[in-house]
Amino acid sequence: MLKIDSVTHSFPGVAHRVLDNVSLEVPEGGFFSLIGPSGCGKTTLLRIVAGLLAPAGSGEVYVDGVSLIGPSPEKAMVFQHFNLLPWRTALDNVAYGPELQGVPKKERHELARKQLQAVGLEQYVNHYPSQLSGGMQQRVGLARALAVEPKVLLMDEPFGSLDALTREYLQTELQKLCEKSKVTVLFVTHSIDEAIYLSDRILVMGRNPGRIVRELEVELPRPRWSYRARSEPSFAKLRDQLWDQLQNEMAEGEGQEGSRGGHSE
Amino acid sequence: MAIATPTDEVLETSILGRARNLRGSPRIIRVGSVLFVLAMWEVIGRANPLFTSYPTEVASGVLELMTDGRLAPALLTTLQGLGAGYFIAIAIGIPLGFAMARIRTLDIALNPYVAALYATPRIAIIPLLVLWVGVGFQLRLTIVVLSAVFPVIINVRDGAKEVDRNYMDVAKSLAAGRWQTLRTVVLPGSLPYVFVALRIGAQRAMIGVIVAEMTSAIAGTGRLLLDLARVYQTDKVMVIIFIIGFFSIFVTSTLRMLQTKASPWRAESRGG
């Protein structure tokens, strides 16, 4: 279970708050998405949860009731730009987390091989990232995050830089992996369809200041790859609701666009 | 940070492919160019041998220098100072560069000295060094260390600071410690810059030792060069210049080769 308790953050020299008193709770094994216009602080929130950024105001992060504000292997991150270490093979990239924890070479390689197999890359263990396509690289990124057996998976627009086909394919793969590992997921995206297809609940964020303005439950039955979930009437209805809400948020923040903080996503 | 996408790969192969098609012709142009310049040198050089000498004369100069027993000791003397000094410069410069990149206090404390000494032409210190350590091996050693160590420190430090934040994020998110981050991200991530540092350091070291020998020492390659020029043996002066030039090319290309070997993940090496 992941609990975020009243996180407030601002960047130096920026008057308004990037995040204002954001709280949320993802139940164990749950899949929650954060969606919102650019500048709403969703990536900043995820970086704070991951421990990559210390909240410049207040805020607490709990995993299974334990306060975990800094970096921890309990919370693994999957990055928008994959961030594979180019000097490591796929195998050593996946084995990186266990290596940092002091797992001996043979064991961590075995572990990494298993993870790569789970994402369908067992034939690419000795390839360097530059020899892999974008989709393959992100599968390695996912395997790397799962290799530390985290309780929480934090995903920052992980499929944002992939083509549409690869994207849909990986969305399905991700669902299967999550089901198997029972990991709790907090997923940042700017794609409405992606949010609906993957999530149990979608949290819409607004900007100036960044905060959660609405929560929407997705009640489509799982597993969603087993039928045409995207063609369901309830999928279309949710899409309309989200779209209206997001347009509102866009319009509201528009006037203050110029004063927005310098953080890029 | 550039992450290779399929488009990059396609681009790369097409460039390589084009180069391959033309492989025969640049070589012919290069050899032709060298032969042409040699021929011109022979013709013009013969008109006034004192000025530039000429290729056939230079060739016989090689033999004379080798047989009269002055060349080998001079080269050896220079190489000793160069090798020992370069080794010390690397042994100090690389760790210090990384330390300055990672420890802010150290960076702030040392930067004025490093920056000032890097900017001062090291040659200006030679008279002072003669006063301190004399004109022998220690002079060569000191000038080589002083010439090479600052460019090494600065390039390693800047390279280590430049390591992609995205990679640092990976280490941090997996709760890597300071040392782990240094070993698994900062060191491999700044490897191209370390090799730039090694190359610039080597070039500076060679300049330093030759100049020190020409101005102050009583032996060595630089001194021999000066002695030969003073008695107008232009052909032999040319021989020495060529030896220095080829040695420099050899060092640089060896370092490039080492870099390629040390970075099997990249098809080609970056940086100058």
| A158-181: pLDDT as tens digits | 999 999 999 999 999 999 999 888
Per-residue model confidence (pLDDT) at position B130: 93
Residues B173-188, mean pLDDT to the nearest whole number? 94
Whole-angstrom Cα distance, residue A199 to residue A178?
Answer: 11
Whole-angstrom Cα distance, residue B263 to residue B99?
Answer: 23
pLDDT, tens digit (0-9, with 9 covering 90-100), for B8-57: 444 445 555 555 555 568 888 999 999 999 999 999 988 888 888 888 88
Cβ contact, residue pair B263, A87, below 8 Å: yes
Per-residue model confidence (pLDDT) at position B31: 92
A264 has a pLDDT exceeding 50: no
> What's the pTM value of the predicted model, to 2 decimals?
0.83
The domain A2-74+155-259 belongs to what CATH superfamily? Answer: P-loop containing nucleotide triphosphate hydrolases (3.40.50.300)
Give the minimum alpha-carbon distance from B105 to chain A in angstroms, rounded to a whole number: 22
Number of H helices, E strands in chain B: 14, 0
B208 has a pLDDT exceeding 60: yes
A58 has a pLDDT exceeding 90: no
Least confident of A8-22, B75-89, B241-255: A8-22
pLDDT interval class at B218 (50, 70, 90): confident
Of A73, A87, A128, the CB nearest to B174: A73
A242 has a pLDDT exceeding 50: yes
Contact at 8 Å (CB) between A40 and B141? no
Cβ contact, residue pair B172, A130, below 8 Å: no
Give the minimum alpha-carbon distance from B190 to chain A in angstroms, rounded to a whole number: 11
**pLDDT over 90 for what percent of chain A?**
79
Whole-angstrom Cα distance, residue A55 to residue A106?
Answer: 38
Residues B119-128, mean pLDDT to the nearest whole number? 89
A39 has a pLDDT exceeding 50: yes
- Nearest residue in A to B164, CA atom: A83
Number of other CB atoms surrounding residue A166 within 10 Å: 17
Cβ contact, residue pair A129, B3, below 8 Å: yes
A129 burial via Cβ count (<10 Å: 0-12, 13-18, 19+): buried
Every domain range in chain A assigned CATH 3.40.50.300:
2-74+155-259
Give the minimum alpha-carbon distance from B230 to chain A in angstroms, rounded to a whole number: 53
Per-residue model confidence (pLDDT) at position A253: 66
pLDDT, tens digit (0-9, with 9 covering 90-100), for B251-271: 999 999 999 998 888 753 344
**Residue B35 tokens, joined:** 């032969």
Instruction: Give the DSSP letter of residue A236.
Output: H
How many residue contacts between A and B have a Cβ separation below 8 Å? 76
Per-residue model confidence (pLDDT) at position A263: 44
Give the minimum alpha-carbon distance from B202 to chain A in angstroms, rounded to a whole number: 26
Per-residue model confidence (pLDDT) at position A57: 83
Per-residue model confidence (pLDDT) at position A67: 92
SS3 assignment, position A186: strand
pLDDT, tens digit (0-9, with 9 covering 90-100), for A201-231: 999 999 888 999 999 999 999 899 999 999 9
Cβ contact, residue pair B172, A79, below 8 Å: no
Whole-angstrom Cα distance, residue A165 to residue A146?
Answer: 23
Least confident of A9-23, A53-67, A79-93: A9-23
| ipTM given for this complex | 0.89
Cβ contact, residue pair A50, B189, below 8 Å: no
Residues of B with Cβ-Cβ distance to A140 under 8 angstroms: none
Contact at 8 Å (CB) between A195 and A202? yes
Per-residue model confidence (pLDDT) at position B18: 54
- Nearest residue in B to A148, CA atom: B174
Instruction: Tell which of A82, A130, A140, A148 to mutate to test the B interface (max B CBs under 10 Å).
Output: A130
The sign of the dihedral angle between the CA atoms of B49, B50, B54, B60 is positive
B112 burial via Cβ count (<10 Å: 0-12, 13-18, 19+): exposed
**Residue A46 tokens, joined:** 């995820």
Contact at 8 Å (CB) between B164 and B190? no
